[in-house]
Amino acid sequence: MAKTGKPPATQDKLDFPRPLTMVDVVIFAVMESRLQVLLVKRPDAPGEPYPGLWALPGGFVDVDRDESLEACARRKLREKAGVEAPYLEQLGSWGGVSRDPRGWSATHVYFALIPSEHVMPQKGANAAEAAWFTLQEFDGRSRLAFDHMEIMQAAVTRLRNKVEYTSLPAYLLPEEFTLSELQRMYEVVMERPIEKSAFRTRVLSSGLVEPVRKMREGPNRPAQLYRLADPVHPVVFTRTIKTRTD
Amino acid sequence: MAKTGKPPATQDKLDFPRPLTMVDVVIFAVMESRLQVLLVKRPDAPGEPYPGLWALPGGFVDVDRDESLEACARRKLREKAGVEAPYLEQLGSWGGVSRDPRGWSATHVYFALIPSEHVMPQKGANAAEAAWFTLQEFDGRSRLAFDHMEIMQAAVTRLRNKVEYTSLPAYLLPEEFTLSELQRMYEVVMERPIEKSAFRTRVLSSGLVEPVRKMREGPNRPAQLYRLADPVHPVVFTRTIKTRTD
DNA sequence: TAAGTTAGTTGCACAGTAGCACTAAGATAT
DNA sequence: ATATCTTAGTGCTACTGTGCAACTAACTTA
């Protein structure tokens, strides 16, 4: 490891070319009973790659302002979406010679879930034009900048997988919610209906939620409100939700 | 996104400071019925951080040789461990101002499982001094370079979690193996015994393996040999392995 | 032929869930 | 008041994969 005749390492100096380093965030929210992703429009300025195309919110790491990758991701979240995300996890990283015309680049991608109530009044902050897209809008040929389509697909896959055995959909809801509302979040993400009775026992016997002394009032029977017993740690179930005849 | 007065982006140029970019690999193998990790010794050359300490195999991305992050990880695997890993997944990335004295740095960490048969005859390749360590050897105060202790713990946690509901331990075995050998890999990683009968039905009914027309001969009853039905894709089970009274 | 060891099977109990029918509590219409 | 609608919430049964324990099978060595 001491002396490979190549650029990296221990040439006594650090004067070899460095890749560009960025952070991008895939931000999910459920609006109008659809899973949606926040995208921003690439600037049209000269020299900018993929001008005018939609891209994941993100950008270069700022070595002077960002303490760490996660801090950088939270900054992007604030700047682009104007929110503190109740759930943020690392999705992975994508890097290579050809993903950005400006040169070898690597992006660290995070994955956030936010309640639709937290969504800013559209196009806020200092972010460029921003908009929410349903997943169906990408089935066609609509391109995204860079390899962001691939990244977004990976994020959706990860979310769909985790929904089967974790409590992640709870982070798509406000602090207090009913069990029916929680069930609907699961159904929206999984894109299939689940059994009410089984779902309720599953959730209640797991200790995921605790009741608050309030009811959700509506046109019909009032529903018990709950909140997360431990908002910081998602619950992992020991069984997946069974898919019908599959 | 067009004009923040800060270093990154669209200052018309890309002349802002870039973090150091590296790739590290956590390589697991089971030897002597213990889960072990491959580490390399940091060089003693002047200017090198953490001289003489043990570290994860890895290093800087070489923008001229490495096509992508994963290609870079495979290169490190070849150079340091002298193997092609049958299983390689991304673990995550760690980055920040303070993790490397040479400046803001980010490392992309991969996670490999290899059969102990693939293990090189010790200290091979152009790698510096390398050695296998059992996990117990870190319970004490033995330090690792950089934040590699934290990274290694994360890798172990990820592996232990995934063992509960995937077929990952199969990649710690050679191409052909018996069910008892597979069970032993699970037990070594989980550090607890599991039921033979339940394990066999679980594995056999999942389609994970297919029998080959050979038997493992030994001092006792010969055992049926199997191989992975699909060596590329690990199997995901719908239930975790139940832990006794827990 | 008996004993030891590992491979592999069988049968039963248990737990979490799917499926479905039922009751409960509110609003609204008659 | 009473019926009807809608959503909340419960009870019951069946099924499936697993945990558990005892059993049989195949081979070696004494």
DSSP string, B56-82: -SEEE--TTT-SBHHHHHHHHIIIII-
Q: Which of A47, A65, A128 sits opposite B1 (nearest CB)?
A: A128
CA distance A35 to chain B (A): 24
Report pLDDT for A5.
39
Looking at residue A123, what is its pLDDT?
47
Is the minimum CB–CB distance between A102 and chain B shorter than 8 Å? yes
Q: Are A178 and A225 in contact (CB under 8 A)?
A: yes
- Please say whether the beta carbons of A40 and A57 come within 8 A: yes
The pLDDT of residue B127 is above 80:
no
- Superfamily of domain covering B20-154: Nucleoside Triphosphate Pyrophosphohydrolase (3.90.79.10)
Q: What does the pLDDT read at residue B34?
A: 96
In degrees and rounded to multiples of 5, residue A170 shows phi and psi of -60, -30
Q: Which of B59, B127, B240 is closest, CB to CB, to A8?
A: B59
Q: What average pLDDT score do residues B162-169 get? A: 98
Nearest-angstrom CA–CA distance, A241 and A172: 19
Q: Which of A178-182, B126-130, B148-152, B182-186 has the lowest mean pLDDT?
A: B126-130
- CB of A93 within 7 Å of some strand D atom: no
Q: Is B7 on the interface with A (CB under 8 A)?
A: yes
Q: What is the ipTM of this complex?
A: 0.91
Say how far A241 CA is from C18 C1', in Å.
10
Q: What dotted CATH number matches A165-228?
A: 1.10.10.10
Owner of token pair 């409100």 = A225
Does the beta carbon of B199 lie under 8 angstroms from any beta carbon of chain A? no
Are A63 and B6 within 8 A, CB to CB? no
Tokens at residue A238, please? 């020991």
d(CA B221, CA B211) in angstroms, rounded, equals 17
User: CA–C1' span, A201 to D17, in Å?
Assistant: 19
Comparing CB atoms, the residue among A40, A165, A242 nearest residue B1 is A40
Closest nt by CA–C1' to B225:
C7
Determine whether the distance from the CB of A196 to the nearest atom of strand D is below 7 Å. yes
**A111 in B contact zone (CB under 8 Å):** no
**Is B10's CB within 8 Å of A242's CB?**
no
Burial profile B15-46: b = 16 or more Cβ within 10 angstroms, e = fewer: ebebbbbbbbbbbbbbeeeebbbbbbbbbeee
Closest nucleotide (C1' vs CA) to B239 is D17
Q: Please state whether strand D lies within 7 Å of residue B246 at its CB atom.
A: no
Q: Return d(Cα A10, Cα A3) in angstroms, integer.
A: 7
pLDDT surpassing 80 at residue A226? yes
Q: Tens of pLDDT along A187-197?
A: 999 999 999 99
What pLDDT score does B84 carry? 85
Confidence of residue B243 (pLDDT cuts 50, 70, 90): low
**CA of B196: nucleotide with nearest C1':** C8
Domain locations in chain B? 20-154, 165-228
- Among the listed ranges A72-81, A228-237, B101-110, which one has the minimum average pLDDT value? A72-81
- Whether the CB-CB separation of A94 and B69 falls below 8 Å is answered with yes
Residue nearest to nucleotide C21 (CA to C1'): A197
Q: How far is B242 from chain A (nearest CA, A)?
A: 8
Q: Does B133 touch chain A (CB under 8 A)?
A: no
For residue B80, what is the nearest residue in chain A, using CA coordinates?
A: A1
A232 and B CB contact within 8 Å: no
Task: Give the model's pLDDT for residue B133.
Answer: 94
| Residue B180 to residue B185: CA distance in whole angstroms | 9
CATH domain A20-143 topology:
Nucleoside Triphosphate Pyrophosphohydrolase (3.90.79)
First to last CA, chain B: 51
Identify which of B9, B12, B69 has the shortest CB distance to residue A93.
Answer: B69
What was the pLDDT predicted at B76? 93
Average pLDDT over chain A, rounded to whole? 90
In the predicted model, what is the mean pLDDT of chain B? 90
Nucleotide with the nearest C1' to A215 CA: D8
A18 near B CB under 8 A: yes
